[in-house]
Structure formats: structure tokens, C-alpha cells
Amino acid sequence: MQKNQASDRLGRLLAAWQSEGGVGTFETLCQVAAPLIRQAAAKILRENGARSNELIDEVESLVRVHLWRSREKGRAKFDTVKGGKAYLTWLSRNRARDVLRRQRTHAPLPP
């Protein structure tokens, strides 16, 4: 699948999730978005010296929770068809930064 087609599909899935919901739509959205989420998270984590797949998994989980909760609260107010890929990249990067901050905050003190 070409990049534009994948981006368009992602935007359509986000729009469908926003307007209609449904567990099936959410699962499909997460499957299609996973590579983008993981790539964006890995880049931020790598740039900050973190190379753990567990941290990438944590970011992916946080993005999924955010998407689910924003639908429940009716907060998802963005143009998903035109900006779905950009939104998910932005969200993934921000969640990766959150994970890094949390990791630094809870890091053990040196002896």
C-alpha cells in the first residue's frame, strides 16, 4: 500500500471511530496505526537514549487509551481525514516524551 493510500485509510478509520465508535473499528484503527505509532515513539525514545521495546509498547498503549477516552468524552475535534497521520504522529511523540519524563522521575538515585 502506498503512503498516501495508507494515510487516507488511517484518516478514514479515525473519522469512523470518532463518529460511529465500535470495537471493531477501534481494533482496525489500532492495527493500521501501530506501525506509525511505534515508529514515531521509537524515534523520540532513541533520540533520548532509550532503546527498550517495552517503552515503545507502553507508548502504543497510552496512545490507544487516549484514542478510546477521547471518543468517550467527545473530545476528538480534529480533521481526521486530512490530518489523521499528523495527529497520530504528534500524539505518539508526546506520549513518548511523557514516558521519558515518568522514567526520569522514577529513576533510582545513584548510591
Write out pLDDT tens, residues 38-63: 999 999 999 998 889 999 999 999 99
- Please, which pLDDT band fits residue 110 given cuts at 50, 70 and 90? low
Q: Which residues contact 95 (CB under 8 A, 6 or more apart)?
A: 41, 59, 62, 63, 66
Each as own residue / partner, the long-range contacts of residues 45-52 (CB below 8 Å, 24 or more positions apart, any chain) are 45/96, 45/99, 45/100, 48/100, 50/100, 50/103
The predicted model scores a pTM of 0.83
Q: Which residues contact 70 (CB under 8 A, 6 or more apart)?
A: 76
